[in-house]
Structure 1
Amino acid sequence: MGKFYDSIPPNLMKWIEAQQMFWVASAPLGGEGHVNLSPKGLKGTLHIANESQVWYEDMTGSGSETMAHLREPGNGRMTIMFCAFEGTPRIMRLFGHGRVLEFGTPEYEELLPPDVRHPGSRCVVVVDIHKVGTSCGFGVPQYAFLAHRPTLYNWLAQLETTEQEHDAADGAADPSSEPRVAEKGLKAYWRKENLKSMDGLPALQAAHISRTTPTHAPPRGEWGKEGNALHHAVRKDAGNGAARPSLALQKPKAVFGGMDAAEVTRLVIAFSLGVAITAVYIQMVGGPC
């Protein structure tokens, strides 16, 4: 059965932190505007401040829909969703209102100083939660997690290197003039792609004109040479069949090869009892979710 809470249950906080990805949903107030749903999947970017607030480090991308919706006057609505692809099935939704802390502002710097900031981070999205919903997740497939892709961080780190080299050469510029940006740097990309939503709502307001030079923490194995090597190794192992499928999809011989007839019989009986008990429970409560 689905359940609702006023805040995040303490016993599920570690489960949230263990998820490798999540989704954020938002929409403009106008009925003709586009509803947005974005996957977020980079390790270490989501943080639980307390049972009623979470925040995540938002990476640069080709759109800025969530930011624009949160900044629309009278709006700010958003939902974060998690799904369990491994272990106990579960779906969790965090319903709340979000606000944006842009790169180059003191509020952003307080949460993400340069020694912890990831390449290409453009803002922090803080979500104040007013309702939490959980449901069974029986319809969510099981997947085996392999690794996070280093591609985005690698690309964004290059843009920031270009920005750093430009700012070092431009250090003598008049501080009262509008800051100049590297032609192929991060801020130029922000100006081109992140100033408005697809519906024309304002998105970035400060990051692209900030005088702060974007710097980030070292790779720590997430990107760069180590991240690339890990990603290629994982892809190679998966291509060679090293990533094993679920036991339920393997041939019976592979599952039961180490069991004698009595052990197999006991396993089948236990499984059958589990199915029967589940069926009775669903009948009693009126459905799995």
Structure 2
Amino acid sequence: MGKFFNQLLDKHIAFIEKQKIFFTASAPLGSQGHVNLSPKGLDSFRVLGENKVAYMDLVGSGNETSAHLLENGRLTIMFCAFEGPPNILRLYCKGTTVLPGDKQWAALSENFNLQMGTRQIILADVFEVQTSCGFSVPYYNYAGERSQAQKWAENKGEEGLEQYKQEKNRLSLDKLPTALF
């Protein structure tokens, strides 16, 4: 049976710190449009307080989360145990996109080991935390991080990354503007 909390507890934070992957979900308002669900890895997630989290977001083929946050702010972040005792942890949030050059960027980015290709930081206020059993989640073994994203960014170079973001990351699949617009 799921349990709800109005903030992250120490045991939730300890669980988050052990995870190698998390998932983000967002959607435009209404019943139309694409629901976005994205896996995230690397050392990209930070708990900043009992009700505040952030993650470093790299350049990708789309920028759906940023568009949805700009439109309505809704964000769900999910962690699940692939090792050890079963557990699912969901963070229900209101999020914003923080871009390089924004007044929050300097202080916020100090929490991360920024990589070439870091597009933005997603900052989220957690208004509800849910745990559930995770009994059906299979065991998986962590084998390491992939290096393709970093190599791709290095091959593109700074100018190439900026051009790519302008071409691929300014609008969502549903033609909603992102924070890069």
For this structure pair, what is the TM-score category when the shorter chain's length is used for normalisation? over 0.9
Unpaired stretches in structure 1, ≥5 consecutive residues = 164-181, 207-289
Give the percent of matched residue pairs that are identical in Structure 1 and Structure 2. 44
Q: For residues 99-130 of structure 1, give each alpha carbon's deviation from its aligned partner in whole angstroms, at most 9, with x where no partner exists.
A: 110123232232225x9311100111011011
Contact 2:116 2:153 in 1 (8 A): yes
Q: For residues 217-252 of structure 1, give each alpha carbon's deviation from its aligned partner in whole angstroms, at most 9, with x where no partner exists.
A: xxxxxxxxxxxxxxxxxxxxxxxxxxxxxxxxxxxx
Name the structure 2 match of 1:92: 89
Runs (4+) of structure 1 moved beyond 6 Å?
A: none
Name the structure 2 match of 1:123: 120
Name the structure 2 match of 1:106: 103
Aligned residue pairs, count? 180
How does the TM-score come out when normalised to structure 1?
0.60
Alignment partner of 1:63 is 2:62: yes
Contact 1:196 1:204 in 2 (8 A): no
Name the structure 1 match of 2:34: 34
What letter matches 1:187 in structure 2? E
Alignment of 1:175-254 (within 5 A): 182=159, 185-205=160-180
Secondary structure in structure 2 of the residue aligned to 1:106: coil
Name the structure 1 match of 2:152: 155
Higher strand share: 2
What letter matches 1:80 in structure 2? I
Q: For residues 163-222 of structure 1, give each alpha carbon's deviation from its aligned partner in whole angstroms, at most 9, with x where no partner exists.
A: 3xxxxxxxxxxxxxxxxxx4xx1100001100000000001437xxxxxxxxxxxxxxxx
Name the structure 2 match of 1:7: 7
Quote the offset at 1:30 in angstroms: 2.9
RCO greater where, 1 or 2, for CA within 8 Å and sep 6 or more?
2
Contact 2:169 2:180 in 1 (8 A): no
CA RMSD of superposed structures (Å): 1.4
Alignment of 1:267-282 (within 5 A): none
Quote the offset at 1:32 in angstroms: 1.1
Q: For residues 130-173 of structure 1, give each alpha carbon's deviation from its aligned partner in whole angstroms, at most 9, with x where no partner exists.
A: 1100011000000111001011011112323xx3xxxxxxxxxx
Name the structure 1 match of 2:48: 49
In 2: Cα distance, 1:137 partner to 1:66 partner: 25
In 2: Cα distance, 1:88 partner to 1:121 partner: 33
